[in-house]
Structure formats: C-alpha cells, structure tokens
C-alpha cells in the first residue's frame, strides 16, 4: 500500500539563459528532457513528477542531473505526498484544486 509519507513528489525549478541561439536550444532541450522523464509542467519553468518511493525519486534526480545545461540555475525540491497535498494554488482569485496522487503507477 502506498503511504502519503513515503510517496515523493519532485519539483524542478529553473532559470536558464535564453539570450543566444545555443542557450535557447539548451533550455528547450532541458524542458523537453523533463517531459520525456515524465515531469508535468506546473508553470513555464516549474515541473513536477510523482515518484512512488524515495529510491525512485533519487533515480529521477540523477537523470535530471545528467541533462543539466552548462549555465543557468536549476533547483530540485522533494516533498512527501502529504506535504504536497497541502499546497494551495490560485488562478487569479480563484483557488485551483491540487493534483492528487495517481491511482495507478504508469509504466513507460
């Protein structure tokens, strides 16, 4: 059984330079790579991913590290499912329901 205290969400936040064509290409490649790893875009430079365990989260962190661009800032935050479900999001003045834990693990 999956426990809300053992399930992990990863959040990748980044600020990458996009002044030159190679920098734009690297930033686009990084965003595409995150999507390929199963991350979902929460905001333009904020991506989240559900992991069933800390071990799975560590594997994903290593994969993100392997595709870091040469410049820019990337931060990876880890939250338990219980912590993540307490987040409050707004669109304008309206509250947005928080993402729920997937009912079934996806196999890629």
What is the tens place of the pLDDT at every residue in 40-61? 999 999 999 999 999 999 999 9
Place of tokens 């990458």: 16
pLDDT tens-digit profile of 17-37? 999 999 999 999 999 999 999
pLDDT value of position 104: 53
Distance CA 106, CA 24 (A): 31
pLDDT value of position 6: 72
Burial 43-68 (b: 16+ CB within 10 A, else e): eebebbbbbeeeebbeebeeebeeee
pLDDT tens-digit profile of 62-108? 999 999 999 999 999 999 988 888 888 888 887 776 666 555 555 54
N residues, the chain: 108
Rounded to the nearest 5°, which phi and psi values hold at 8?
-125, 140
Q: Which domains occur in the chain, in start order?
A: 8-96 (3.30.70.240)
């Amino acid at each position: 059984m999956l426990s809300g205290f053992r399930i992990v969400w990863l959040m990748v936040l980044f600020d990458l330079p996009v002044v030159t064509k190679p920098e734009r290409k690297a930033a686009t490649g990084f965003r595409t790579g995150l999507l390929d790893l199963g991350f979902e875009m929460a905001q333009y430079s904020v991506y989240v991913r559900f992991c069933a365990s800390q071990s799975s989260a560590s594997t994903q962190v290593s994969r993100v590290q392997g595709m870091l661009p040469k410049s820019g800032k990337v931060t990876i935050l880890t939250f338990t499912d219980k912590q993540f479900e307490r987040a409050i999001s707004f669109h304008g003045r309206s509250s947005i329901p928080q993402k729920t834990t997937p009912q079934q693990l996806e196999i890629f």
